[in-house]
Structure 1
Amino acid sequence: MDRHIPMHALPEEIQKMSPEEKVCKYCGVSYLILHEFKAMEEKVKAMEEEMKFYQGSVEREKTLQEKLQCLSQDFEQYKIDNESKTERIQDANMQLKSQQKEFQRVQKELSHLQHELKIKHRQSQVFRLFLW
């Protein structure tokens, strides 16, 4: 707070006034500084309100920091879960490819065996005709 130091002396009329005229009878404060006290009281009230706001902001910040920490932990857990699931998907894809290759191999073998069966069947029919 700035301290006001008067640059000029009080006017003579005020200097000649009796103390009863210059001082409040209720509180004993000089009328000359009463308005300064009132202004200071207003400043104090404003500062108290500001302090309440800042005290609340500290509590809000703590709450937000806790939430942020929880969200960070959740994010890390989700990241780990995602990596695990990605690995499982890759393993499943590899197994699927392997099974697809095996299926194609078996299909080719089946096709070959069916072809041989047709040939054997035709040969069998030809032998039957000769035997009759």
Structure 2
Amino acid sequence: MDRHVPMHALPEEIQKMSPEEKVCKYCGVSYLILHEFKAMEEKVKAMEKEMKFYQGSIEREKRLQEKLQSLSQDFEQCKIDNESKTERIQDASMKLKSYQDEFQRVQKELSQLQQELKIKQKQSQIFRNKDAK
């Protein structure tokens, strides 16, 4: 383990302090070191929290992957259903078009028959009028 050598000397005020002022009377630890220990303890607590978060994130990632897989399967099924329904709609549209064409043909035929009927009725009327005279 490398020994840490500070780059800057302690301020003169601290160097001139007596050892009783720099050391905790209860535990004997230098106040400067005690401050560093407290700071390190806070860092460790923060890192432990972060580790717990990341451990939970692995579980969350697995759940999200499973959900993504499920949604992908649902999407594929919806695409297949959509294609099937599109085909059915196209078939129904083609049938409707043929029924419309048939309807127009029958309507034309009906119109022609009605015209023929009018002509026949006029002819019949003319013949009746001739017979009545």
TM-score (norm 1): 0.69
After superposition, give the CA deviation of every residue in 1:74-131 in whole Å (9 maximum; x if it has no partner). 1111111111111111111111110111011001100100011111111111111222
* Fraction of identical pairs, as percent: 72
Listed as ranges, the matches of 1:4-23 within 5 Å are: 4-6=3-5
Deviation of the 1:3 alpha carbon: 4.4
Count of aligned pairs between the two proteins: 114
Q: Which residue of 1 aligns with 2:49?
A: 49
What's the C-alpha RMSD, in Å, of the aligned pairs? 2.9
User: Where does structure 1 differ by over 4 angstroms across 4 or more consecutive aligned residues?
Assistant: 34-43
Q: CA deviation at 1:44?
A: 3.6
What is the match of residue 104 of structure 1? 104
Residue 119 (structure 1) aligns with: 119
Gaps of 5+ in 1: 8-24
Measured after TM superposition, the shift of residue 41 of structure 1 is 4.4
Aligned equivalents of 1:39, 1:129: Cα separation in 2: 126
Q: Which runs of 5+ in 2 are unaligned?
A: 7-25
Corresponding residue for residue 94 of structure 1: 94
User: Cα deviations across residues 38-77 of structure 1 (Å, max 9, x unaligned)?
Assistant: 6654444333222111101111111111111111111111
- Mapping for residues 8-87 of structure 1, pairs under 5 Å: 31=29, 35=34, 41-87=41-87
Q: TM-score scaled to structure 2, two decimals?
A: 0.69
Instruction: Give SS of 2:3's match.
Output: coil
Deviations 1:14-40 (A, max 9, x none): xxxxxxxxxxx98xxx847x7476665
- The structural deviation recorded for 1:5 is 4.3
Q: CA deviation at 1:4?
A: 3.1
